[in-house]
Amino acid sequence: MSLVDVEGLRKVYHRDSLEIPVLDSIQLRIEARDFLALMGPSGSGKSTLLNLLGGIDRPTAGRIVIGGEDIGALKSGALAKWRAQHIGFIFQLYNLIPVLTAFGNVELPLLLTPLSRRERREHVMSALRIVGLEDRVHHYPRQLSGGQEQRVAIARAIVSDPTLLLADEPTGDLDSNSAAEILTLLERLNVEHGKTIVMVTHDPHAAERAHRVLHLDKGRMTAAAAPARSR
């Protein structure tokens, strides 16, 4: 079985009596350790699909099965618990808490777990070590470059060892050098740490780092491109 199986996925938003279709008839399979890039014009439904995969939003119709779990069938509390255990989010604008240090930001997802303080520290330091920021533990976001902020955000995303990493334009706010560093880090997480990654991007250079590139257009999946690179 694939890690992710999406069948007949449809998403419609409502504004008063108006129906706004966003995704229609999406079929998608993602194997464990895959690195998938989603491309398409603005408004094509890329971020909506990412939010559905992460359990932030619910489908209007269809099924999303991740690791054998039909997440659309989960009630709100169970879905929140599942999301905390299995999904790591990486955002374009980092979403760091300004009053917390790098350590504090990375520790946030662990505060609701049964881990002891010592265990939380071990997890946080391991995540910061992976992203190369063990020397910035006590720095606040304002004291970091954009690339360093995104690396803190990635450390936060991986600190709970999630099943699936979802990255929404992770290099969209970075200069070319910082963007290349972040993409290399994502490649390492995929190859060396076995993370399955789904990345939304407008940047063809970013998409080239993925194993596969799929395109969305007006809410429908178009023909897949050839693999961006060999594994």
Query: How many other C-beta atoms can be found within 10 angstroms of the C-beta atom of residue 28?
Result: 18
Reported residue count of the chain is 231
Tokens of 185: 């880090």
Q: What is the DSSP letter of 224?
A: P
Per-residue pLDDT of the chain (231 residues; tens, 9 = 90+): 699 999 999 999 988 888 899 999 999 999 999 999 999 998 899 999 999 999 999 999 999 999 999 999 999 999 999 999 999 999 999 999 999 999 999 999 999 889 999 999 999 999 999 999 999 999 999 999 999 999 999 999 999 999 999 999 999 999 999 999 999 999 999 999 999 999 999 999 999 999 999 999 989 988 554 444 544
**Domain 32-60+75-221 falls under CATH 3.40.50.300:** yes
Cα–Cα distance for residue pair 116/185, rounded to 1 Å: 28
Question: Using an 8 Å Cβ cutoff, are 89 and 166 in contact?
Answer: yes
Question: Using an 8 Å Cβ cutoff, are 113 and 160 in contact?
Answer: yes
The model's pTM: 0.92
φ, ψ (nearest 5 deg) of residue 203: -95, 115
What is the predicted pLDDT for the residue at 181?
96
Question: Using an 8 Å Cβ cutoff, are 152 and 96 in contact?
Answer: yes
What is the predicted pLDDT for the residue at 112?
85
Half-sphere exposure of 216 (CA within 13 A, CB side): 27
